[in-house]
Amino acid sequence: MKVLHLSKFDLGGGGGGFEAAYRLHRNMLGTGVQSKMLVLKNRSGDSEVIPIFNNLNYLKKGVYYFRTILTILKARFDSVKLKLFSRKTNRSYFFNEKHGFVTAQDLRKSLNWKPDLIIAHWVSEFIDVVTLYEISKFWNVPVAWYLMDMGPLTGGCHYTMGCNKYMENCGNCPQIEFTNIENDLSRLQWQKRFETIQKMRVIPIVGSTWLQERLIASSIFKNKPYKLIPLGIDSNVFSAGDKQKAKVLLRLPTDKKIIFFGAMNYSEERKGFHLLKKSLEILHRKALENEIKSDDIYLVIAGKGSKDLQGSFFFPSRFAGVINSNNALAKFYQAASIFVCPSIEDAGPMMINESIMCGTPVVSYDIGVAKDLVISGETGYRARINDPNDFAEGMFDYLFKKSLDEKKTQDRCRSLALKLCDPEVQVNAFKKVFNKL
C-alpha cells in the first residue's frame, strides 16, 4: 500500500495540524506502509518528506515570501487593534483560497511514483480543492481528507465563530472585513469547493465528534461518507509516569498540585485564555473558602509568548515557553495533576489526546476531542461552554476531592487513550478506509 500525504508543512507552522500529519506519516511507515509526504517546505529533515518549494520558479517563491510578510504584518496589526480598542475584536479565521499556490503539475514533477491513496491534511495556502481533484484524477486514486479544522467545510472560514452559513452556501461572511455582500469571496469559494467535492472520489476523516457534527451539517460534503479516526499519539513517548519523579526532573515543586496549560497563541479568543483567568480567580477564592493555601497550587504554562503573561494569575507560576521536544512535553503531562483546556471552539486540540495518553485527567469545555476523551468523573471534567464557574468546579474536584483515586484515574485515562488513539489503531482505521474506497 502506497500512501501520499499532502500537507503545507511537516512540522511547525503555528499549529498542531502539521504535527498530526507528520505523526500519521511516521506511524504508517512503522507498520510497513509505503508512506511519503509532499510539503511546501521540509522542516523535519525526514528523507521521506519531499519539499516542493525548491522546484518552484522564482515568481512563485517571491509570492510565497510576500504572503509570509503579509501574514506577519496582519498578525501584528491585529495585536495592535486588540490593545487600542477597549472592546475586544474577534480574530478572523478566513483564508483567501480562490487559487492554489501549487499546481497539479508541480505535484507530479516532485514525485516519481504513483500512490494508491492520497491523504490530504492542512493544505490551506498550499493547494486548493481543484488541484487536489486534478492530481487524484491524474493518478486515478481516491482521496481521504483528514480535516484538521472546519476549513474544508466552508467557503474559507477555518472556525466560523457561531456562523451557520456553511450549512447552506456561505455568502455575506461576517469574517470578511469591509464587505457586506451576498456574493462575496466566501460564496465564490464555497461554490468551487461544492462543485469539485461532489465529483471527487473523496472521504472526509474527522478526529473528533465535535468536528463530525459540523461535517454532517456542511453542505459541501453533502451525501459523502465519512469516518471518525482520532489523532494517533505515540504511546511509548506519551506514557503514564511517576508524578514525583517527573516534578523532580523538571525542577517543579514536589509538594504542590500542578495545573498544566498550553497553547500556541494566547491572543486567539477561541482558545479561551480570558475564561481561564476568570476560572483561576474563582478557584483561588474557592481554595481560600476551604482553607487551602493558594501556594498549594502551582501553574505551568507552555506556548509561544507565555513569558509575557508573568503576574497574570493568582497562583505561583512557571512559564515554560515553547516545548519542542515530545519527550519533555510528556514529562510536563506526567508531572501535572490536571491539564486544562479552556478552548471554546476547537477541532482538537491534540494536547488533550496527549494528556489522556499520559494518564493525566483533563478539565475542558464541552468542545472538540474532549467530547470523545474527557468523561466527567472518570478521565476529567467537561464544563458547560463559556461557564468559568463550572470550569473552576471541575478543577477544584480533580485537585482536592478526597475520594478521588489518582491511580485509578491515571489507569482509566491511559486505557481509553490506548483504545482510541494508539498509532496502530489509527493506521488500521485508515487501511479499512482504503479498502472501502
Establish if 238 belongs to a structural domain.
Answer: no
Number of domains in the chain: 2
**Under a CB-based contact definition with an 8 Å cutoff, are residues 286 and 269 in contact?**
no
Instruction: Let me know whether 195 and 282 are in one domain.
Output: no
Verify that 224 and 344 share a domain, yes or no.
no
Q: Is residue 237 part of a domain?
A: no
Residue 73 neighbours by CB distance under 10 Å? 10
Q: What is the pLDDT of residue 78?
A: 52
Contacts of 298 (CB under 8 A, 6+ apart): 252, 253, 256, 257, 258, 259, 315, 316, 317, 318
Question: Are residues 224 and 263 both part of a single domain?
Answer: no
Query: Does residue 278 sit in helix, strand or coil?
Result: helix
* Domain span at 115: 2-232+422-436
Residues of the chain short of pLDDT 70, as ranges, are: 13-15, 55-92, 98-99, 178, 305-312
8-state DSSP, 94 = B
> Rounded to an integer, what distance in angstroms lies between the CA atom of residue 35 and that of residue 4?
6
CB-based contact 16:349 (threshold 8 Å): yes
Same domain, residue pair 328 and 385: yes
Q: Is 74 left (phi over 0), alpha (psi -120 to 50) or beta?
A: alpha
Model pLDDT for residues 250-275, shown as the tens digit of each residue: 999 999 999 999 877 777 788 888 89
For residues 220 and 322, membership in a common domain is answered with: no
pLDDT at 307: 53
Q: Which amino acid, residue 274?
A: H
Asked whether the beta carbons of 263 and 364 are under 8 A apart, the reply is no
Cell numbers standing for residue 217 = 451539517
Same structural domain, 205 and 63? yes
